[in-house]
């Protein structure tokens, strides 16, 4: 009597024999490998990868031989059990011969990149050697506090020929016994440089402080060379070329003139004083952060900087200079401070530093 194990082995041998004769399709990896490239019938999808071929040829088992296989009920049962093991679906994931294929999922949520940290604008510092200003340790008492609001005046480089300053003029104060209203009927005309044909700029000699609280700035910055050659001022009747009083002098640029400015006395030909005013050499260099055609476009750029103690300035530029009339800048500074700040910002700004440059402010409509 044959035991159960021998029946199983016999059934397996019969099944492999029928597969080789193409009377049954292979249902196991071993049967496919034994059949090799000679087998040209259909395979289950899970076993197709084990038989490389370009055009499958469908071969149906011969009926007579297929009928002869019917007595082998144990073989058919083994085939059915093997097929049941080979194909199954669990929890929406398909597993084929140990390979896991995940079920499709939704689109991944896009990751929003974190905003880059703001570019830190360095604090102002007063390097040595310095010769004036409240931040200058050891500055002489005469220039320790400056009406021009300068906090640090270097000892060297301030009088280089190409260094530029912007001239600021106060109201003309009348001589004793006259009222300020009388000065409102006069013009103060200014020319800088001894070059023949140097232009004259004329403005009302007196305007209320609310109209120009910081005095009047000349639109064009002046170089040290031009200041040394001479500054001329004339008091004239409004709209006329007649000179009522005048003042002319070369300007020596140094710690005293940069800190306290200069006092101007306008005198007639009889050396009578007809008016006095103050003249200051102001800082004129700016670190321009960006220019845009629309003012609102400067706001996101400003938010990309951490200004600290410095205050950004929103200004407009002359329309004939660039199409972008709106300017975001820091300043004004003396030239060395502006160039050093520009260099520091360039190092840390990355893409935000594309519009950084140093400008002397001549193109700005307001200072």
Is the predicted pLDDT of residue 216 greater than 70, yes or no? yes
CA dihedral 5, 8, 12, 14 (to 10 degrees): 110
Dihedral sign, CA of 293, 297, 301, 307?
Answer: positive
The confidence band for 26, taking pLDDT boundaries of 50, 70 and 90, is: low
Residue 52 or 339, more confident: 339
Residue 352's domain spans which residues?
284-359
pLDDT of residue 34: 62
Whether pLDDT at 69 is above 50: no
The answer to whether position 237 is within a domain reads: yes
pLDDT value at 95 more than 50: no
pLDDT at 47: 52
Is residue 218 in a domain? yes
Q: What is the pLDDT of residue 227?
A: 97
In the prediction, which pLDDT does 211 show?
82
Could you tell me if residue 142 is inside a domain? no
pLDDT-derived band at 182 (thresholds 50, 70, 90) equals confident
**Of the ranges 48-62, 99-113, 130-144, which is most confident?**
130-144
Check whether residue 310 and residue 266 sit in a common domain. Answer: no
Answer yes or no: do 206 and 220 share one domain.
Answer: yes
User: Residue 324 has what pLDDT?
Assistant: 84
Query: Residue 305: which residues within 8 A CB-CB, separation 6 or more?
Result: 118, 119, 120, 121, 289, 312, 352
| Interval 262-314: pLDDT, tens | 999 999 999 999 999 999 999 999 999 999 999 999 999 999 999 999 999 99
Averaged over 83-101, what is the pLDDT? 41
Name the DSSP class of 128.
S
Instruction: Kindly state the percentage of the chain with pLDDT values over 90.
Output: 50
Listed residue (277, 293, 252, 20) closest to 171, CA to CA? 277
Residue 116 has pLDDT above 90, yes or no: no
Interatomic CA distance for residues 310 and 206, integer angstroms: 32
Q: Where are the beta strands (DSSP E) in the chain?
A: 89-90, 93-96, 99-101, 119-120, 130-132, 153-154, 164-169, 186-192, 201-204, 216-217, 222-223, 231-237, 245-249, 262-267, 273-282, 285-292, 305-306, 313-316, 326-333, 357-359
- Cα separation, 338 vs 345, in Å, equals 11
Q: Is the peptide bond before 289 cis (omega within 30 degrees of 0)?
A: no
Q: What is the DSSP string of 55-100?
A: S----PPPHHHHHHTTT-HHHHHHHHHHHHHH--EETTEEEETTEE
Judge contact between 309 and 123, C-beta under 8 A: yes
Residues 270 and 182 placed together within one structural domain of the fold: yes
* pLDDT confidence of residue 68: 42
Residue 133 lies in a domain: no
Asked if pLDDT for residue 138 goes beyond 60, the answer is yes
Q: Which of 212, 182, 147 is nearest to 275 (CA)?
A: 182
| 353 and 330 assigned to the same domain | yes
The H or E element spanning position 228 is: helix 224-229
The answer on 169 and 260 residing in a single domain is yes
Number of domains in the chain: 3
Q: What is the pLDDT of residue 157?
A: 93
CATH number of the domain residue 347 falls in: 3.30.70.1070
Domain boundary among 282, 317, 339: 282
Tell me the average pLDDT across 145-172: 94
Rounded CA gap, 122 and 234, in Å?
43
**Do residues 180 and 267 share a domain?**
yes
Select from 101, 123, 147 the last residue of a domain. 101
- Written as one string, the DSSP assignment of 35-60 is HGGG--S---GGGGGGS--SS----P
| Whether residue 251 has pLDDT greater than 80 | yes
- Cβ within 8 Å of residue 234, ≥6 positions away: 188, 189, 200, 243, 244, 245, 246, 266
Q: What is the CATH number of the domain that holds 221?
A: 2.60.40.150
**pLDDT at 141 > cutoff 70:** yes
3-class state of residue 197 by DSSP: coil
β-strand partners of 288: 329, 357
Residue 186 lies in a domain: yes
Q: Are residues 349 and 248 in the same domain?
A: no
Half-sphere exposure of 76 (CA within 13 A, CB side): 9
- Upper half-sphere CA count for residue 69 (Cβ side, 13 Å): 24
Pair (313, 276) in one structural domain? no
Q: Report whether pLDDT(235) > 90.
A: yes
Q: Could you tell me if 261 and 296 lie in one domain?
A: no
For residue 131, is it within any domain?
Answer: no
pLDDT winner (highest mean) among 16-30, 80-94, 208-222 = 208-222
Specify if 211 maps to a domain.
Answer: yes
Domain boundary at 282, 317, 335, which? 282
Both 26 and 94 in a single domain? yes
Q: What pairs with residue 154 in β-bridges? A: 130
pLDDT above 80: residue 27:
no
Specify the higher pLDDT residue, 281 or 211.
281
d(CA 131, CA 139): 5
263 and 321 housed in the same domain: no
Same domain, 10 and 70: yes
Which segment of 121-130, 219-228, 333-342 scores lowest on mean pLDDT? 121-130
The pLDDT of residue 194 is above 70: yes
Say if 126 falls within a structural domain.
no
Q: For residue 64, how far is the Cα from the chain centroid? A: 84
């Amino acid at each position: 009597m044959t035991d159960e194990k021998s029946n199983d082995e016999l059934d397996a041998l019969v099944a492999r024999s029928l597969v080789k004769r193409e009377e049954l399709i292979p249902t196991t990896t071993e049967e496919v490998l034994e059949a090799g490239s000679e087998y040209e019938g259909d395979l289950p999808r899970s076993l197709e990868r084990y038989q490389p071929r370009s055009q499958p040829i469908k071969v149906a088992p011969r009926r007579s031989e297929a009928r002869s296989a019917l007595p082998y009920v144990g073989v058919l049962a083994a085939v059915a059990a093997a097929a049941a093991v080979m194909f199954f679906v669990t929890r929406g994931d398909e597993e084929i011969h140990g390979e896991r294929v995940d079920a499709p999922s939704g689109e991944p949520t896009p990751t929003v990149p974190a905003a880059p940290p703001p570019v830190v604008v360095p604090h102002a510092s007063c390097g040595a050697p310095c010769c004036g200003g409240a931040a200058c340790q050891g500055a002489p008492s005469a220039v320790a506090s400056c009406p021009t609001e300068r906090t640090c005046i270097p000892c060297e480089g301030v009088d280089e020929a190409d260094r530029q300053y912007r001239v600021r003029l106060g109201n003309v104060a009348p001589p004793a016994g006259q009222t300020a209203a009388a000065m409102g009927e006069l013009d103060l005309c200014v020319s800088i440089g001894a070059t023949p044909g140097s232009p004259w700029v004329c403005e009302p000699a007196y305007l209320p402080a609310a109209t120009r609280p910081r005095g009047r700035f000349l639109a064009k910055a002046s170089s040290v060379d031009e200041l040394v050659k001479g500054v001329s001022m004339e008091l004239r009747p409004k709209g006329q070329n007649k000179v009522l009083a005048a003042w002319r002098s070369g300007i020596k640029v140094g710690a005293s003139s940069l800190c306290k400015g200069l006092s101007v006395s306008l005198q007639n030909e009889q050396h009578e004083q007809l008016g006095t005013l103050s003249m200051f050499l102001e800082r004129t260099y700016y670190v321009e952060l960006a220019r845009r055609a629309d003012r609102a476009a400067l706001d996101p750029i400003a938010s990309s900087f951490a200004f600290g103690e410095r205050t950004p300035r929103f200004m407009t530029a002359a329309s004939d200079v660039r199409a972008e009339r709106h300017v975001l800048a820091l300043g004004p500074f003396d030239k060395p401070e502006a160039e050093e700040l520009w260099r520091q910002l360039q190092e840390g700004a990355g893409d935000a530093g594309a519009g950084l440059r140093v400008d002397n402010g001549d193109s700005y409509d307001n200072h």
